[in-house]
């Protein structure tokens, strides 16, 4: 992502105005980590293993049965766990033998992925499963008007959900995100110090968290990918490519999010005669770079509804060798870039995501071959995201769920103390 990695210090008057907004609204820093607090551990056990008995929760969390009982009671009172008396062990006496599970039907969270061209609005249940998603063009024009349009779209979308109570809003976006205030600098959209979090909190009357979109996607792998639990020293590298490129590093079960915003790999050296570009990674492998090359070669029309990546991928699958060559060249460049990042950071786990990797899965063998040839370290497998072409919505969804997963009781209190919603 070709964005600055630091922002100038804002004047005191601006900071004071931000604090006033935060005091009035529920803007909460995103929580993209595997939490170990007692309530979070108990809720996590129910989410991943439920229906589950209290003694089994104690075994898997290493908490005392007394602690588990207290937390289960608190989570039942908060309404996000429910008992399953119908599943109680035959002949067992007492409530501790009654299994509990996540009470997911009454609730949803709202995720919003703000892309350079398209914005996705996602309804997610408490397991992180997508209930529904709609896509709309990202609003253009003046920043304030664009934010108002975005918030109004989210409000109309929420008005459709009559049987579920919304708890939280999570926003994932490119650019430089200040997670504490919910403000965003997004060069490609022309947004500077945009109050994304406060505007959505004001319009929707819900707690809002805002995160970098690549951090969010790495968080989805961490919290929703359901692989082995990370240790305190384990590291995972997530590399993203579509219209932009980016990376995120998870350390000890927490996505590392620098206060000054994410680093950038947009300007990593990359060379391709076939794809052109400026000798930099993003301008070589982005969707637009590939499409420009495809139009130049007359593989797809110069303009119109067929001048898309979908058409190019379809042509490659139908045997068009020029189309396949472009996608293969993109795969080679990406594989070499992944090798460079892996060799610099040497993570325990290596994950790639974004449609540059997933929309043409036939090219992954070429990514892996270029990666293996370029890397100088011992062999390590590349893992493709568990979310395929839906990784953007998974990222937005996990930002909306992170607060609940790390502090379920506190999150429910925040959500339930929100101002009454106004009808759409």
CATH architecture of 38-102: Orthogonal Bundle (1.10)
β-sheet with 235-241: strand ranges across: 254-255, 245-251, 235-241, 349-353, 383-384
pLDDT at 97: 79
pLDDT at 117: 87
CATH of 228-385, one of 3.30.420.40, 3.30.310.10, 1.10.3720.10, 2.60.40.10: 3.30.420.40
pLDDT at 420: 44
Q: For the purposes of burial, counting CB atoms within 10 Å of the CB of 120, is it exposed (0-12), middle (13-18) or buried (19 or more)? A: buried
pLDDT at 194: 96
Say what the alpha-carbon torsion angle 383, 384, 385, 390 is, to the nearest 10 degrees.
Answer: 180
pLDDT in single tens digits along all 424 residues of the chain: 443 333 334 555 656 555 555 555 589 999 999 988 999 999 999 999 989 999 999 999 999 999 999 999 999 999 999 999 888 876 555 555 789 999 999 999 999 999 988 999 999 999 999 999 999 999 998 999 999 999 999 999 999 999 999 999 999 999 889 999 999 999 889 999 999 999 999 999 999 999 999 999 999 999 998 656 666 778 999 999 999 999 999 999 999 988 777 788 999 999 999 998 789 999 999 999 999 999 999 999 999 999 999 999 999 999 999 999 999 999 999 999 999 999 999 999 999 999 999 999 999 999 999 999 999 999 999 999 999 999 999 999 999 999 999 999 999 998 887 644 444 4
Answer whether 26-31+106-219+391-417 and 228-385 agree in fold: yes
pLDDT at 278: 83
pLDDT at 17: 58
HEC assignment per residue over the chain: CCCCCCCCCCCHHHHHHHHHHHHHCCECCCCCECCCCHHHHHHHHHHHHCCECHHHHHHHHCCCHHHHHHHHHHHHHHCCEEECHHHCCCCCCCHHHCCEEECCCCEEEEEEEECCCEEEEEEECCCCCEEEEEEEECCCCCHHHHHHHHHHHHHHHHCCCCCCEEEEEEEEECCEEECCCCEEEEHHHCEEEECHHHHHHHHHCCCEEEEEHHHHHHHHHHHHCCCCCCCCCCEEEEEEECCCEEEEEEECCEECCCCCCCCCCCCCECCCCCCCCCCEHHHHHCHHHHHHHHHHCCCCCCCCCCCCHHHHHHHHHCCCHHHHHHHHHHHHHHHHHHHHHHHHHCCCEEEEECHHHHCCHHHHHHHHHHHHHHCCCCCCCCEECCCHHHHHHHHHHHHHHHHHHHCHHHHHHHHHCCCCCCCC
CATH architecture of 26-31+106-219+391-417: 2-Layer Sandwich (3.30)
- Listed in sequence order, the residues at least 6 apart from 16 whose beta carbon sits closer than 8 Å to its beta carbon are none
Q: Locate the domains of the chain by residue range.
A: 26-31+106-219+391-417, 38-102, 228-385
């Amino acid at each position: 992502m070709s964005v600055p990695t630091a922002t100038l210090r804002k004047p005191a008057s601006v900071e004071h105005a931000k604090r006033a907004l935060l005091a009035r609204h529920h803007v909460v820093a995103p929580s993209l980590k595997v939490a170990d607090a007692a309530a979070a551990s108990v809720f996590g056990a129910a989410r991943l293993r439920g229906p589950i008995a209290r003694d089994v929760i104690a075994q898997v969390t290493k908490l005392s049965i007394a602690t588990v009982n207290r937390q289960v009671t608190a989570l039942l009172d908060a309404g996000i766990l429910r008992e399953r008396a119908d599943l109680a062990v035959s002949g067992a006496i007492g409530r501790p033998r009654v299994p509990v599970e996540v009470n997911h039907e009454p609730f949803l969270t709202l995720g919003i992925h703000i892309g350079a061209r398209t914005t996705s609005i996602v309804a997610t249940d408490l397991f992180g499963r997508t209930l529904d998603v709609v896509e709309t063009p990202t609003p253009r024009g003046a920043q304030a008007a664009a934010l108002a349009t975005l918030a109004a779209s989210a409000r109309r979308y929420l008005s459709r959900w009559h049987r579920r109570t919304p708890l939280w809003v999570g926003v994932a976006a490119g650019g430089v995100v200040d997670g504490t205030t919910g403000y965003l600098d997004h060069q490609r959209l022309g947004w500077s110090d945009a109050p994304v979090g406060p505007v959505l909190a004001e319009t929707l009357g819900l707690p809002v968290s805002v995160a970098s979109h690549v951090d969010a996607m790495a968080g989805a792998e961490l919290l929703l990918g359901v692989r082995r639990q990370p240790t305190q020293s384990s590291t995972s590298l997530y590399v993203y490519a579509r219209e932009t490129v980016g990376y995120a590093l998870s350390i000890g079960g927490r996505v590392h999010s620098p206060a000054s915003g994410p680093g950038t790999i947009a300007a990593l050296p990359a060379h391709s005669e076939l794809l052109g570009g400026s000798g930099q990674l993003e301008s070589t492998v982005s969707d637009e770079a590939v499409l420009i090359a495809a139009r130049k070669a007359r593989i797809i029309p110069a303009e119109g509804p067929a001048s898309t990546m979908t058409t190019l991928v379809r042509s490659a699958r139908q045997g068009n060798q020029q189309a396949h060559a472009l996608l293969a060249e993109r795969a080679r460049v990406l594989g070499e870039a992944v090798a460079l990042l892996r060799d610099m950071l040497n993570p325990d786990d290596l994950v790639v995501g974004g449609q540059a990797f997933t929309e043409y899965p036939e090219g992954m063998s070429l990514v892996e071959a270029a990666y293996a040839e370029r890397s100088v370290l011992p062999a390590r497998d590349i893992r493709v995201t568990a979310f395929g072409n839906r990784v953007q919505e998974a990222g937005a969804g996990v930002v909306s769920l992170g607060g609940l997963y790390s502090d379920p009781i506190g999150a429910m209190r925040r959500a339930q103390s929100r101002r009454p919603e106004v009808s759409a």
